């Protein structure tokens, strides 16, 4: 497995192709950013960039991202293989008081991601962290991973939420291109719809 992963990284350097993008994403959002990859039924961290702006920031120090409790995991469930939902339902550990621990709650989170194009975690994995994720697609045309922004919950305002969504969509498009893929039109439509809605709200306020 390690040899195959090393060979893939030499031919399609996913980490190198993501590093510059998440560095810019951290700069424009002011928050910690990271990229994860799906392998089998597990979401693994690939690269991360801590916030340049805040001394109090999210640190990405995990071996895997739980499917049911993280924005990256919700992205995988929403846009990855259908059988992932069964895998997620087998272990729905409560990491915080807000972690989804029922199939109904998990399905609501997944459906929300399918309707907006973004996975979301609101204090589900850590008590003081809110995260948003956008799916990444590779040369196979399939879901390959997610790009995410993780913010300290007390800073996560509606304005920051809107800004992160816009920049996440751009980062996902760029990383997908770097990985030889492209964003499906259905997902692009969801992001464009969300951006237009935000513009209308800002002009009317």
The per-residue pLDDT for 198 is 55
Structural domain boundaries in the chain: 10-198
pLDDT > 80? residue 194: no
Alpha carbon of 181 to those of 144, 169, 173: distances in Å?
9, 14, 9
Burial class for 88, CB neighbours closer than 10 Å (0-12, 13-18, 19+): buried
pLDDT band at 5 (very low <50, low <70, confident <90, very high): very low
pLDDT > 70? residue 47: yes
Whole-angstrom distance, CA of residue 19 vs CA of residue 25: 10
CATH of domain 10-198: 3.30.450.40
Query: C-alpha angle 6/8/27, rounded to 5°?
Result: 90
pTM of model > 0.75 = yes
pLDDT > 60? residue 16: yes
Residues 129-154 have a mean pLDDT of 96
- Which of 27-31, 59-63, 64-68, 122-126 comes out lowest in average pLDDT? 59-63
- What percent of the chain has a predicted confidence (pLDDT) above 90? 79
Dump the DSSP string for 9-40: HHHS-HHHHHHHHHHHHHHHHSSEEEEEEEET
pLDDT > 90? residue 187: yes
Contact 56, 41 (CB under 8 A): no
The per-residue pLDDT for 185 is 96
Whole-angstrom distance, CA of residue 96 vs CA of residue 122: 10
Per residue in 76-115, pLDDT (tens digit) is: 999 999 999 999 999 899 999 999 999 999 999 999 999 9
């Amino acid at each position: 497995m390690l040899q195959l992963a090393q060979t893939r990284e030499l031919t399609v350097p996913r980490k190198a192709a993501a590093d510059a993008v998440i560095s810019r994403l951290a700069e424009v959002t002011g928050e910690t950013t990271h990229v994860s990859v799906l392998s089998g039924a597990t979401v693994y961290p690939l690269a991360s960039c801590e916030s340049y702006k805040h001394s109090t920031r999210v640190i990405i120090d995990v071996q895997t991202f739980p499917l049911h409790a993280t924005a990256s995991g919700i992205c995988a469930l929403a846009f990855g293989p259908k059988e992932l939902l069964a895998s997620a339902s087998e272990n729905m550990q409560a990491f915080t008081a807000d972690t989804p621990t029922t199939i109904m709650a998990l399905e609501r989170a997944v459906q929300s991601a399918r309707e907006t194009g973004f996975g979301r975690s609101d204090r589900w994995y850590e008590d003081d962290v809110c995260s948003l994720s956008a799916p990444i697609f590779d040369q196979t045309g399939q879901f390959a991973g997610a790009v995410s922004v993780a913010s300290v919950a007390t800073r996560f305002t509606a304005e920051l939420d809107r800004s992160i969504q816009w920049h996440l969509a751009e980062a996902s498009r760029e990383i997908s291109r770097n990985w030889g893929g492209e964003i499906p039109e259905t997902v692009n439509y969801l992001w464009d719809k969300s951006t237009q809605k935000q513009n209308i709200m800002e002009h009317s306020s």
